[in-house]
Amino acid sequence: MPMKDNDIELGQSKSTAIRRLKLLERRFVRKPHIKDKYVEFLQEYEDLNHMQRVKEEEPGLHYYIPHHAVIRPESKTTKLRVVFGASCKSSNGNSLNDILLKGGTIQPDLFDILLRFRKYVVAFSSDIKKMFRQIKVQEHQQDFLRILWRPSPEEDIVSYRLKTVTYGTKPAPYLATRCLLQLAHEGKNKYPHLPLQLSKIAPTWMTFCQEQTTSLLLKRCSDN
What's the confidence (pLDDT) of residue 8? 73
Instruction: State the chain's mean pLDDT as an integer.
Output: 82
Confidence band for 76, pLDDT divided at 50, 70 and 90: low
What proportion of the chain, given as a percentage, has pLDDT over 90?
A: 45
Q: What is the pLDDT of residues 158-185, one digit of tens each?
A: 999 999 999 899 999 899 888 887 877 7
What's the confidence (pLDDT) of residue 61? 84
What's the confidence (pLDDT) of residue 219? 59
Confidence band for 214, pLDDT divided at 50, 70 and 90: low
Residue 72: pLDDT over 50 = yes
57 in Cβ contact with 35 (< 8 Å) = no
Cα gap 77→73, rounded to integer Å: 10
What's phi and psi for 36, nearest 5 deg? -60, -45
What proportion of the chain, given as a percentage, has pLDDT over 70?
A: 79
Q: What average pLDDT does the segment 85-104 reach?
A: 92
Q: What global pTM score does this model have?
A: 0.79
Q: What average pLDDT does the segment 75-92 reach?
A: 85
Cα gap 159→3, rounded to integer Å: 23
Confidence band for 195, pLDDT divided at 50, 70 and 90: very low
**DSSP-derived 3-state class of residue 206:** strand
Residue 75: pLDDT over 70 = no
152 in Cβ contact with 192 (< 8 Å) = no
What's the confidence (pLDDT) of residue 137? 94
First-to-last C-alpha distance (Å) of the chain:
28
Q: What is the pLDDT of residues 97-117, one digit of tens each?
A: 999 999 887 777 778 777 777
Q: What is the pLDDT of residues 109-158, one digit of tens each?
A: 778 777 777 777 777 676 677 888 889 999 999 999 999 999 999 999 99
Residue whose C-alpha is closest to residue 22's, from 156, 153, 158: 153
